[in-house]
Structure 1
Amino acid sequence: MLEKNNRYQEGKKVSYISLIANILLAILKISMGFFAGSTALIADGFHSVSDMASTLIVLISIKLSETPADKNHPYGHEKAEALGTNLLAVILIITAVFLSREAFLTLISGEISQPGFVALIVAFISIVAKELLYRYTIIIGKKINSRALIADAHHHRSDALSSIAALIGIAGARMGFTVLDPLAGLVVAVLIFKVGYDILKTTSYELMDGRPSKEKIDIIYKTTKTIEGVIDVSDIKIRSYGPRYIVDLKIVVSGRITVRQGHNIAADVKQKIISENDDVKDVLVHVNPNSVH
């Protein structure tokens, strides 16, 4: 795993690029949406506005997560990323609700105009730009193991998908099926809502100390069993803490050894787990004696 400062610098670089791109895309889509009379493009533009907010949240949460442990936060501040990601999800859901309302009102009003050709061009530009941003962001997010950055990458992908929906709606409206433009705006809103819900579900699971994959538990179990003096391993608990994990487990050692020897075995377990797993932040080992006959 990257050092804290390098990790933040990588995240900051991606966030700045995303922010600049989203500002330009939001201005382009909203202004051209009004100019060309496209509800779908305007909805897509406000999706980019929500992207701007999410990128700022990601940038701030990554910075906060790198703050060292203190008296009030002895485990550190890594969960700031999960909190920031949760806020991002809420923004997406709220955006989706407002956009769906506007699209629905346009549909029932019956006052639907045919969008201009420029709306098609802008929608296509948005698809290409957002897909490139997704690929770049997801690569860096995985590299620095940032859940917030990975969530932001999927936000970019949802924007690309919503731009595809907008493109189809605009094209259909220009062919005479004008109802397709506000319908596309409604589809965009649904896509945004789904992404927000999925992100909220994932980060809430982390904040509630949900168990990671079984594969991770198996790795910790096998590593612990290789330590000399460990007879058995049980009750392995792992919880996410930002980009890293905190492990809590119980080992069984011989009841005939001294307390110091048991302590040394526990220290060996902790050292090996951390040295072989870059994503493990801390390990708490409980030592239990086996039955002595």
Structure 2
Amino acid sequence: MREEVRYKASRKASYLGLMGNILLTFLKGFIGYIAGSAALMADAVHSASDFIGTLIVIKGVKIAHLPPDQSHPYGHHKAESIVSKIIAIILMITAVFIGYEAFQILLADEIGIPGVSAIVVALISIGIKEGLYQYTIRVGRKYRNAALIADAWHQRSDAISSIAALIGITGAVLGFPFMDPLAGIVVAMLILKTAISIYIDAIHDLMDSAPPPEVLNNITEAAKTDEGVLAVSEVKVRRYGSMLLVDMKINVSPHISVEQGHAISARTKQNILSHNEEVKDVLIHVNPHYE
């Protein structure tokens, strides 16, 4: 049931972002062209990359929630980390494209002054993008969805780039035309910084990095709650997309039967699963305990 709720919430956030990105791509592209604003046109390209990224997120979230099969016995949760990596690469390409175009305009002999309408669209973009970021990041963090969190930062980077575009357009309108393409270069740098951060986080997830120490302690303490567990050792926890996989050893009395040891192991597993919703599976090795 939790997986179904998680999937529906993630899908809703993705589709909301998709609609917002479609609207802003066309609005910024059209007004940027009419008003002659390099910064707003660059921002439109960024929104277009958001649109492509959100489409990938929607597909990735769908794959991540597929049930385990013969080829993927642990499920498909790592699809979310893979999607995060793809989004980061899209952002990097977008940043290079925007930066190059803005730099070419900056080197031109004459730089056009954009119309005031570009300022209005930039303000609208900031409001919509910040709203999308706040909603998407809330859902992503609540359900530990790496792809959705990456998409949220994608939305936030677009809001920041719109602020940079607004400053550049306003400066150009006030008589400093070089500020418009200069803002486009700043936008590119901001996008690149966000892309690198998302890429590094995705790599950590794909490398099965351990969760924070407090999560490890919580799992260890949950394992000790059964009175049959005399000691807990070699607790290893790794991320599997949005979920956690746990391996550990527990010590039990050497005088009990195999069946009793198995029962203690089963109860310990259930205790861990009930204490942490992120844990997908627990593998427990039972050892005899000697003083």
TM-score category (smaller protein): over 0.9
Q: Are the counterparts in 2 of residues 131 and 157 from structure 1 also a CA contact under 8 Å?
A: yes
Gaps of 5+ in 1: none
1:131-146 matches, within 5 Å, as 131-146=130-145
Correspondence for 1:254:
253
The separation in 2 between residues aligned to 1:13 and 1:253, in whole angstroms, is: 47
Q: Does 1:185 align with 2:178?
A: no
Correspondence for 1:77:
76
Q: What secondary structure, in the 3-state scheme, does the structure 2 residue paired with 1:199 have?
A: helix
Per-residue deviation, 1:156: 1.0
Change (3 A) 1:291 1:29: same
Correspondence for 1:210:
209
The separation in 2 between residues aligned to 1:6 and 1:213, in whole angstroms, is: 25
What amino acid maps onto 2:198 in structure 1? I
Q: What secondary structure, in the 3-state scheme, does the structure 1 residue paired with 2:107 have?
A: helix
The separation in 1 between residues aligned to 2:165 and 2:12, in whole angstroms, is: 29
Per-residue deviation, 1:6: 2.8
Correspondence for 1:107:
106
The separation in 1 between residues aligned to 2:271 and 2:117, in whole angstroms, is: 60
The separation in 2 between residues aligned to 1:119 and 1:285, in whole angstroms, is: 61
Correspondence for 1:128:
127
Per-residue deviation, 1:92: 0.6
Per-residue deviation, 1:151: 1.5
Per-residue deviation, 1:153: 1.2
Per-residue deviation, 1:260: 2.4
The separation in 1 between residues aligned to 2:4 and 2:147, in whole angstroms, is: 17
Per-residue deviation, 1:63: 0.6
Q: Are the counterparts in 1 of residues 219 and 275 from structure 2 also a CA contact under 8 Å?
A: no
Q: What secondary structure, in the 3-state scheme, does the structure 2 residue paired with 1:70 have?
A: coil
Q: What secondary structure, in the 3-state scheme, does the structure 2 residue paired with 1:240 have?
A: strand
Correspondence for 1:27:
26
Q: Deviations over 1:45-100 (max 9, x none)?
A: 11100110111111111111111111111111111111111111110111111111
Q: Tell me how large the CA RMSD over aligned residues is.
A: 1.4
Q: Are the counterparts in 2 of residues 29 and 42 from structure 1 also a CA contact under 8 Å?
A: yes
The separation in 2 between residues aligned to 1:187 and 1:252, in whole angstroms, is: 58
Per-residue deviation, 1:44: 0.6
Per-residue deviation, 1:103: 1.4
Q: What secondary structure, in the 3-state scheme, does the structure 1 residue paired with 2:21 have?
A: helix
Q: Are the counterparts in 1 of residues 225 and 271 from structure 2 also a CA contact under 8 Å?
A: no
The separation in 1 between residues aligned to 2:189 and 2:249, in whole angstroms, is: 46
Correspondence for 1:157:
156
Q: Does 1:40 align with 2:39?
A: yes
Q: Deviations over 1:211-252 (max 9, x none)?
A: 111110010111112221222212211111222111111122
Q: What secondary structure, in the 3-state scheme, does the structure 2 residue paired with 1:238 have?
A: strand
Q: Are the counterparts in 2 of residues 57 and 85 from structure 1 also a CA contact under 8 Å?
A: no
Correspondence for 1:275:
274
Q: What secondary structure, in the 3-state scheme, does the structure 1 residue paired with 2:53 have?
A: helix
Per-residue deviation, 1:176: 1.4
Q: What secondary structure, in the 3-state scheme, does the structure 1 residue paired with 2:290 have?
A: coil
Q: Which moved more, 1:220-229 or 1:4-13?
A: 4-13
The separation in 2 between residues aligned to 1:162 and 1:195, in whole angstroms, is: 11
Correspondence for 2:230:
231
The separation in 2 between residues aligned to 1:16 and 1:226, in whole angstroms, is: 43
Per-residue deviation, 1:291: 3.1
Correspondence for 2:171:
172
Per-residue deviation, 1:111: 3.0
Gaps of 5+ in 2: none
> What percentage of aligned pairs have identical amino acids?
52
The separation in 1 between residues aligned to 2:110 and 2:254, in whole angstroms, is: 82
The separation in 2 between residues aligned to 1:144 and 1:275, in whole angstroms, is: 16
The separation in 2 between residues aligned to 1:110 and 1:218, in whole angstroms, is: 63
The separation in 2 between residues aligned to 1:98 and 1:19, in whole angstroms, is: 22
What amino acid maps onto 2:189 in structure 1? V
What amino acid maps onto 1:256 in structure 2? H
Q: TM-score, normalised by structure 2?
A: 0.96
Per-residue deviation, 1:288: 2.0
